Structure 1
């Protein structure tokens, strides 16, 4: 039986019935005040979910701790349709994928600030976007589908917004407070430790409060459920720091000064690929990777009413990310044995300012809400690859490696400038809400070719870009009553040509290939429709939605153009080639039952089509169903939860047997929580109880069935985790 058969309406009812079996988990906090669930990501200001014509997923800190989540992948493991894209055993998680669109097409924010771009080249270099430490996440919100109307070029695929805690989140009405949490997970033998302290100096006007937090996670490679021995090994460490100062002035306005620092390093010994393919002569392949992120933000939140607006938020920020990756590629089986040392560096500095204004006008019958905003961001990006080759017999060293003379840049030093302005108008009464929004964006790309870039690209004309786009949105909500809504929304999205595609530079005479810039690249665009039904009651909630989005002029990197008659080289170039459409169904439900039981679940079923070639779009993940059940003791101290995950087979653009296509799988996870005292809480988990051998599609997409790395990418078998939490 395939998953789509399992997901038939009759089968769904059966699964929901099965999920009432005794099992345990604390009732999600959002069910405690269901009628006024507030989200920020959909409008950039707090707004009731009943006033939003889109699907928004919310993850609270309680849920993060109850599922013992410590990584990017853990956060949304029970949210079908939100996947984590992976880059193998060395580089790990790259970014998020929402409804089949991922990478830099999804905006990834921390406290409203966009994170650095992901960039990779070849097998030895990958600057990922994995700058998230779950220990510093208070809340996460995901806006599904195109969101360029509010977030511009970065959000053609959706938005993942993370929020760090404020002092009030820790103090809970006290003058001083804090918490500490330690977690052990045997899937990767990792230890996670986090601590947060907060203090308030006075409660009158002009009060000042402070929060400081730190987190550290150390571990190794994940065990593979497919092989007994650990083939590829990895030792990693990640350290994070959060400092935030919040001040309320005498006018009732708030100031926030925040600083986030994160540093990570990992050492890898990659043995799965040795002796095969391009590594057939390689006898040692080692990686040594480091990454740092520093984010400084200053916010001014004006809460008082004025004739012009009710509230405003002015945010300025500076973000710097640095990635350095070193590789030792020892080719002892080569005809002339050599050791190749490679170095990759990627640096992005971003400075920006953002202003959001809100005004509400109450009429006799209608309520008018007006939102407006201005944004400006400038980003400087630099990248460099270096390498030396040393003869093992003679010790002679050269910087000419496999036809490339190092150092090289894969694109010139670049500066991107983004500016945008948006206006959103909502009008409605008790029965209807109409939402209309429009955003104008300008994107400029400037380049500064230096000697390193020109050495390989002396006769190439670099490309500067100046793009302008307008993104409209129109939504309609019908309020059936104070608990149920039906919504319909159209949204346009766009994505300006990335710096690395506009000026891609690659010249390898040994292989007779060359990549050239493209001055004719156009912005990608999307047009999407969402329709849905939403119910939020005192003890239940349900959501069912259908979406359909068409994407035009998707940019494909390094498209083969053919032989250049002038030079005799095979030319490659990034081009607008792919048009695609993705449609599907999303659903979610939670119900509280008698005797302190509750059930919950979520569903994602989607299809994607590459309209250029009339093939399935394999970036769309497999159909997935999650069902869960929970029980909580009468006094609320003990909780138990069981979660089941059913995943089908993914779509593949090439159905030939040469490409790997993982089988369906079914997982069962068990969670236990015990509040030992007012301050101490113990949590434990057993995941993959049936010891299933399975692969996440996002980790193996595009790999051939005989790829030696496949066995190491299988997810862990049965694994245990435990955490202890202390609150004061």
Structure 2
């Protein structure tokens, strides 16, 4: 497929239509959000109101990050419908899981930079939440906009910005933070400074965290769970009065901590692991006032993630590094054609992954040195058919080339299309229903294709360059409801409901074989299983008043290997979160609780892995929190996690969660 075959129809389509006032809907999003107390989201590559989105989107804003005293990915996503964290609770193994899919099946971005590392038993991305402004999570396949890996969904991290930290016309300001958590005796300190001169703003932030090993609800210490991390953020923003904007960001994370060779497991050799992640981005925007055609975003980025582990007993040293360089350019045009309003999102994404593995200074066949080049072109059109009806059509084409050099050069190539169609209808004021069909894919990653060497004594990895991409077909029905003044003049009700079925062909799994009579005896390799089917329901409801709020989040998921007629591994348990708080606005005080009700998870596939998670008992866990402004510039956060000191384990993990934990945090803003 030649590139021009995709570009020419798109360019012709754009030239045939005329810029119109359709852009007023998106241009006024921020004003509408303020008037309706709604949330503006951008994860779907265009600015829109959360209540108008035709996909389930969750937002974790700066207030939630601060109030939750968020320390890691598990804190960040805890309680969101359809979202869990796998691999924990050791922080160097945490991975976001959406609808039971993880390990490369979720696209993760930081300020537009892809985070593509995939190594079993390790985390995918590392950052300190104190450096974040907000996080948006899109649940469900999204390869039409984001290409390979977006089978489960997309996580979009946005770092802090100097203009968001500074109040009014202030030219200088900052924030200092001290925190403590009792369970692991963790101390946290952070300083953020920001300044601006004219149209230029600068921000610098650094966070330091140290902790001991944590204890579970039975008082059992989890070995090698201590942490010692340093994180830093530098950002420069140029925001002139005209149509241009430019931002340069550098994010750095370093963790020097003890762990296991297999960090997500309770057993295994002890290792001292240095994790270093650096992400640099330059983002340019062009959005002329009053223009319906131009709302351009371009991002150039480099992500470098290196893991350096030294085994304590043997002295063996394993080094794994993935460097991703990329360019992401897209534009949103609001146009009128044949009497209909069109909102077009279109662009190109280019990135290269370079993987390097060493064992004791020599090439590591378990993380073979290899590279991947990806070119993606996409076009999506949202057609507004009157005030109530909208149809969204889109497609993306990806060309992927993967290669590894050993005795000779091994190469794999994939060409993939990802179409999508959605119809949404406004049933009532504030109530929108949608039905969607989306195809998505995940190309085999470099390790799955080219891994070799010893897996464990007596068992050897086999490379499998014949792997096919996973291909998903998702059908979904959803409702978004935002209602104001339901019972009082100052209340608000927000609700989301999603019902979906995601059928995945050629699902990839690691297959470990023991003794047998064939050539695959005592080997491990990645293989395409027959078919997988994921079905689920997600719900989110929140009612707000000036004096209190109440909410409920919940999800139910079933995953099956259709070919083997058995459950898929790694499926989270059914859960419901109930939460609420009472507010005293005149005293700037808020106190509340969260209650998680999690069902038993015993739908597990048969396995010969002695460390595979067995059935996870159901549990109930209660948290309490208090937020108080001691002074206009001084904020106190208090929380007690796992109040009743329950011993529990999440179904996707092998290690128990921490027991009772007191959190306290003081933040001073100046």
1:669 pairs, out of 620, 623, 644, with 623
The answer as to 2:582 corresponding to 1:581 is no
3-state SS of 1:469 partner:
strand
Correspondence for 1:488: 435
Q: Which aligned pairs between 1:566-605 and structure 2 lie closer than 5 A?
A: 570-593=522-545, 596-605=547-556
Aligned counterparts of 2:445 and 2:606: Cα–Cα separation in 1 = 30
Q: Which aligned pairs between 1:201-240 and structure 2 lie closer than 5 A?
A: 201-202=197-198, 207-226=199-218, 228-230=219-221, 232-240=223-231
Q: Which aligned pairs between 1:119-130 and structure 2 lie closer than 5 A?
A: 119-120=119-120, 126-130=121-125
**1:692 positional shift:** 1.6
**1:463 positional shift:** 2.9
Correspondence for 1:693: 647
The answer as to 2:665 corresponding to 1:723 is yes
3-state SS of 2:526 partner:
strand
- Given that 2:274 and 2:308 are in contact with CA atoms closer than 8 Å, whether structure 1 keeps it comes out as yes
Instruction: Tell which structure's C-alpha radius of gyration is larger.
Output: 1
1:350 pairs, out of 297, 312, 324, with 324
Unpaired runs of at least 5, structure 1: 1-29, 121-125, 280-284, 330-339, 388-405, 455-460, 701-712
Deviations 1:198-218 (A, max 9, x none): 11112xxxx111111111111
Q: Which aligned pairs between 1:138-537 and structure 2 lie closer than 5 A?
A: 138-173=133-168, 174-202=170-198, 207-226=199-218, 228-230=219-221, 232-249=223-240, 251-268=242-259, 285-304=269-288, 309-329=293-313, 340-362=314-336, 366-386=340-360, 408-428=364-384, 429-449=386-406, 454=407, 463-506=410-453, 511=458, 513-537=459-483
Aligned counterparts of 2:551 and 2:33: Cα–Cα separation in 1 = 11
Aligned residues: 627
Correspondence for 2:19: none
**1:366 positional shift:** 3.6
Unpaired runs of at least 5, structure 2: 1-31, 485-491
Aligned counterparts of 1:319 and 1:306: Cα–Cα separation in 2 = 35
Q: Decide whether aligned partners of structure 1 residues 462 and 577 sit closer, same or farther in structure 2, where only a CA change above 3 A counts.
A: farther
Give the TM-score normalised by structure 2: 0.88
**1:607 positional shift:** 1.1
Aligned counterparts of 2:241 and 2:605: Cα–Cα separation in 1 = 64
3-state SS of 2:506 partner:
strand
Deviations 1:47-93 (A, max 9, x none): 2224421100111110111111111111111213211111575x643
- Given that 2:112 and 2:328 are in contact with CA atoms closer than 8 Å, whether structure 1 keeps it comes out as no
Aligned counterparts of 2:520 and 2:462: Cα–Cα separation in 1 = 14
**1:343 positional shift:** 1.1
Correspondence for 2:39: 37
**1:651 positional shift:** 4.0
Q: Decide whether aligned partners of structure 1 residues 478 and 619 sit closer, same or farther in structure 2, where only a CA change above 3 A counts.
A: same
- Given that 2:583 and 2:591 are in contact with CA atoms closer than 8 Å, whether structure 1 keeps it comes out as yes
3-state SS of 1:232 partner:
coil
Deviations 1:181-230 (A, max 9, x none): 2221112211122221111112xxxx11111111111112221213x352
3-state SS of 2:45 partner:
coil
Aligned counterparts of 1:32 and 1:670: Cα–Cα separation in 2 = 30
- Given that 2:81 and 2:540 are in contact with CA atoms closer than 8 Å, whether structure 1 keeps it comes out as no
3-state SS of 1:537 partner:
strand
Deviates most, 610-619 or 569-578: 569-578
- Given that 2:512 and 2:522 are in contact with CA atoms closer than 8 Å, whether structure 1 keeps it comes out as no
Give the TM-score normalised by structure 1: 0.81
- Given that 2:462 and 2:523 are in contact with CA atoms closer than 8 Å, whether structure 1 keeps it comes out as yes
Q: Decide whether aligned partners of structure 1 residues 143 and 557 sit closer, same or farther in structure 2, where only a CA change above 3 A counts.
A: same
Deviations 1:534-584 (A, max 9, x none): 11123111111211101110122245498687x897454322124111111
Deviations 1:469-501 (A, max 9, x none): 000010111012341101111111101121112
Correspondence for 2:11: none
Aligned counterparts of 1:568 and 1:440: Cα–Cα separation in 2 = 36
Deviates most, 78-87 or 576-585: 78-87
- Given that 1:93 and 1:130 are in contact with CA atoms closer than 8 Å, whether structure 2 keeps it comes out as no
**1:636 positional shift:** 5.2
Aligned counterparts of 1:324 and 1:33: Cα–Cα separation in 2 = 50
Q: Decide whether aligned partners of structure 1 residues 94 and 719 sit closer, same or farther in structure 2, where only a CA change above 3 A counts.
A: closer
Aligned counterparts of 1:142 and 1:560: Cα–Cα separation in 2 = 37
- Given that 1:127 and 1:323 are in contact with CA atoms closer than 8 Å, whether structure 2 keeps it comes out as no
Aligned counterparts of 1:235 and 1:508: Cα–Cα separation in 2 = 27
**1:407 positional shift:** 6.2
- Given that 2:137 and 2:156 are in contact with CA atoms closer than 8 Å, whether structure 1 keeps it comes out as yes
Q: Decide whether aligned partners of structure 1 residues 561 and 51 sit closer, same or farther in structure 2, where only a CA change above 3 A counts.
A: farther
3-state SS of 1:464 partner:
strand
Q: Decide whether aligned partners of structure 1 residues 306 and 273 sit closer, same or farther in structure 2, where only a CA change above 3 A counts.
A: closer
Aligned counterparts of 1:362 and 1:408: Cα–Cα separation in 2 = 56
Q: Which aligned pairs between 1:556-575 and structure 2 lie closer than 5 A?
A: 556-558=509-511, 560=513, 570-575=522-527
The root-mean-square deviation of aligned C-alpha atoms, in Å, is 2.9
The answer as to 2:632 corresponding to 1:678 is yes
Q: Decide whether aligned partners of structure 1 residues 286 and 364 sit closer, same or farther in structure 2, where only a CA change above 3 A counts.
A: closer
